[in-house]
Chain A
Amino acid sequence: GQNIDQPTEMTATEGAIVQINCTYQTSGFNGLFWYQQHAGEAPTFLSYNVLDGLEEKGRFSSFLSRSKGYSYLLLKELQMKDSASYLCAAMDSNYQLIWGAGTKLIIKP
């Protein structure tokens, strides 16, 4: 079956770095997405990886290893506003998104 695994909750300190991991199993693969979702709001796009390696975009970076079915989202210089849920989603061979349950990130001062 198709499955996405990511931690339920993580806690980090303001100014620090945090890495949110995601493993996936899909029928075929057409890319890995990361979305940020603040409580009570809709998700917003953060990153898309389809090739192996690290994509850096400001304070956020996303990594993909297709052979391992693994991705991570790296957040640097954490700010209080980064407190949110981070959703990992893999696109299968039918271009359907398989969503993880999300990782709730709590930032402490």
Chain B
Amino acid sequence: GAVVSQHPSRVICKSGTSVKIECRSLDFQATTMFWYRQFPKQSLMLMATSNEGSKATYEQGVEKDKFLINHASLTLSTLTVTSAHPEDSSFYICSATSGGRSGANVLTFGAGSRLTVL
């Protein structure tokens, strides 16, 4: 089946530094990738949708200058948390779909990245 690799799985950084999280589709071409954030005991919150070769579409309230998303190829999307602060500590999850505007398209999730900002 489809596999999405996400790393790092855990990262601890100092306040003010930037952190990059990678999301790769290993055995399929992901025309669309999604980035979510999940706080403890809460549901997934969609941050942005990225399509290969175009700018990401950010959800309301998500700062595009703080959460930089690059979807440079059909198998790779990156999320960079710039100037991270303790309130950015969260579980970040990517998901990918092979595309087509079909309801039957199933999202395949990466394993998630737990970010802790000290």
Interface residues of A (CB under 8 A from B): 30-31, 33, 40-45, 48, 50, 87, 91, 95-97, 99-102, 104
Contact = CB atoms under 8 A, between A and B. Distances in A.
B104 A50 contact: yes
Contacts of B117: none
Nearest to A31: B103
25 contacts: A31-B104, A33-B106, A33-B107, A40-B112, A40-B114, A42-B109, A42-B110, A43-B44, A43-B93, A43-B109, A45-B108, A48-B104, A48-B106, A50-B103, A50-B104, A87-B43, A95-B103, A96-B46, A97-B107, A99-B43, A99-B45, A101-B42, A101-B43, A102-B43, A104-B41
Contact of A30 (B103, B107, B111): B103
Interface residues of B, number: 22
A89 to B, nearest CB: 8
Interface of B: 6, 41-46, 91, 93, 101-112, 114
Contacts of A45: 106-108
A106 B5 CA distance: 29
Given A30-B102, A31-B103, A99-B45, 19 more contacts: A30-B103, A41-B111, A42-B93, A42-B109, A43-B93, A44-B109, A45-B107, A48-B104, A48-B106, A50-B103, A87-B43, A95-B101, A95-B102, A95-B103, A97-B107, A99-B44, A99-B46, A100-B43, A101-B43
A74 B44 CA distance: 22
A91 B102 CA distance: 10
A97 B95 CA distance: 12
A100 B101 CA distance: 22
Nearest to A45: B106
Contacts of A33: 106-107
Nearest to B41: A104
Contacts of B43: 87, 99-102
Contact of B112 (A42, A50, A99): A42
A101 B93 CA distance: 16
A99 B36 CA distance: 11
